[in-house]
Amino acid sequence: MGERTPDLVIVGSGIAGLYVALRAREEGLHPCVLTKSTLTESNTRYAQGGIAAAVGPGDSPRLHFQDTVRAGAGLVDRPAAWALAQEAPLRIADLARWGVPFDTADGKITLGREAAHSRDRILHAGGDATGLRIEETLQAQVVEQGIEVREHAHLLSIGPTPKEGVSVRVRTLKGDEELRSRTLVLATGGAGHLYHESSNPIIATGEGVAIAARAGALIRDMEFIQFHPTVFRRDGAPRFLISEAVRGEGAVLRDAQGERFMPRYHPEAELAPRDVVSRAIAFELERSGDRQVFLDATAIPRERLLSRFPTIGHFLRGQGLDLSKDLIPVAPMAHYMVGGVATNLSGETSVRGLYACGEVSSTGLHGANRLASNSLMEGLVFGERIVRALRGGARWAGVPSTEPEVQLRPVPKDVPPLLHGRQLTRNGLGKLLWEQVGIIRQPHRLHEAVARLTQDWSVAERESASAGRDGPAIADLLLTGLMISRGALAREESRGGHFRTDFPRPRAAWRAHLGMRVRLSG
């Protein structure tokens, strides 16, 4: 780790991890950032839609709060939503102070609108390259300030130290190392790429959640996976997210016959919450047997489209399509992990010394369905709160248990195999989740997924334990997939990003967070 032991170790180099590192340095702390890829690779850089904050005329934190609560399908923790809405303008000021080049017109920041927002409050940088511009700016600041960054450091396990603190075991290009710090901040991102069809980069496989669960952390709401309605879909072509902001500018969805269908599903049509739009498309595809629907932006002026969405326009030109003239083939795909490691409003988990923020965490902010463009802001607001807690030296509060709560245990060695066949590979896991724990969930498929994943995770867990956690292991990916599947089987209702055919409506008895703990022994 160099000559000086860090005051805090941050695992992850997206917006949440880099923000915590920069603010910690400003507060006189010595942070170290670990990233399993390179400093330039994270989910943040692919965020096209923008970042939400009530900074425009006619807007207010209260309106932003109300929109967040409404989108969350009855499960939003109001204090978390209020914290984000109230503090978002301050965090935008931080980004501007560090040099993020937000788009302007006539000297004023331009604001867009996305689904389920009642006001224009989405800030952009470089049109549809917002995540990339933020990430590049924060990376440059990290380098300029000389913050220690260790690339290609794969997190293997988390544990306590003999004294108060957290031990982190990582695999680097030089071999395995154990790092110790008083504080560990987990900012490892989501799990979207566990699914066969995904908008996420290959690094988004959710092992941070599994490793935290194995260390004893409470996990929450893993059944709520948000599927993005409009991801470019063509056989043989790369998957590419077509920002919700395109619909915010006036694009509509059409079926293979050219008919617009969203008005049949929701009064706000294409600007309905993401879960509604994704399910509507899924139902249309199931009815028609097609593999994609089409996004029609041809009614929007060409100059406005191309200036607002240069990245999307460039990608489509590479596919022989013109955003302003052609119908764009799209389908819903796994996009965002709503649940994660349970935290309080200061980012504390149920494991002393372990904090979490960003997509890997579950603050209760998103409820059952994330409001568009709240994700980048979540990393900033709760990252700031972590730094504030560390600076203030507040007494550790942790996270209370939830009710209901599911316990996950490996299958004992002497239990006969539940299913036959080879252990799932990463690709096999992706197909299983997509086919059996996807947008529309059926009870028999959920039972099959849980049985298969429980068996395979149990075998992988024993093998990795006997090999000294010779990871980054398939056991971590299988455990994350199992937590998603087990949560989906346990929640006997439909709410937000979780839809079951046998319980197609929300149920009052399930208006609660679903906790989950992993018990490896005892």
User: Do you know the residue count of the chain?
Assistant: 522
Write out the two tokens for 231: 């991801």
Question: b/e per residue, 453-476, with b = 16+ CB within 10 A?
Answer: bbbbbbbbbeebeeeebebbbbbb
Known active-site residue 422: no
Query: Which residues, 6 or more positions from 248, have their beta carbon under 8 angstroms from its beta carbon?
Result: 112, 113, 114, 115, 122, 271
Q: What share of the chain is helix, strand, coil (3-state, %, to 5)?
A: 35, 20, 45
| Burial zone of 22 (CB within 10 Å; 0-12 exposed, 13-18 middle, 19+ buried) | buried
| Among candidate residues 486, 516, 480, the one with its CA nearest the CA of residue 190 | 480
Q: How far apart are CA 194 and CA 477, in angstroms?
A: 7
Q: How far apart are CA 206 and CA 208, in angstroms?
A: 5
Backbone angles phi, psi at 328, to 5 degrees: -105, 120
Write out the two tokens for 44: 């943040």
Scanning the structure block, which residue is given the tokens 């996009």? 335
Q: Map residue 252 onto helix, strand or coil.
A: strand
Query: Which residues, 6 or more positions from 322, have their beta carbon under 8 angstroms from its beta carbon?
Result: 316
Contact 274, 266 (CB under 8 A): no
What is the separation of C-alpha 224 from the centre of its chain, rounded to a whole number of angstroms? 11
Q: How far apart are CA 428 and CA 143, in angstroms?
A: 39
Q: How far apart are CA 145 and CA 134, in angstroms?
A: 17
Write out the two tokens for 102: 């937000």
Of the CA atoms within 13 Å of residue 376, those in its CB half-sphere come to 30
Maximum Cα–Cα distance for the chain, whole Å? 72
What is the separation of C-alpha 326 from the centre of its chain, rounded to a whole number of angstroms? 31
Catalytic pick among 45, 113, 233, 274: 274
Scanning the structure block, which residue is given the tokens 């190392």? 177
Per DSSP (E only), the strands in 299-397 are: 328-337, 340-342, 354-356, 361-362
Residue 34: its H or E element = strand 31-34
Give helix 375-392 / helix 15-26 axis angle, nearest 10°: 30
Per DSSP (E only), the strands in 213-326 are: 219-220, 225-232, 240-241, 252-254, 293-296
Q: How far apart are CA 143 and CA 404, in angstroms?
A: 45
Backbone angles phi, psi at 206, to 5 degrees: 70, 15
The residues annotated as belonging to the active site are 274
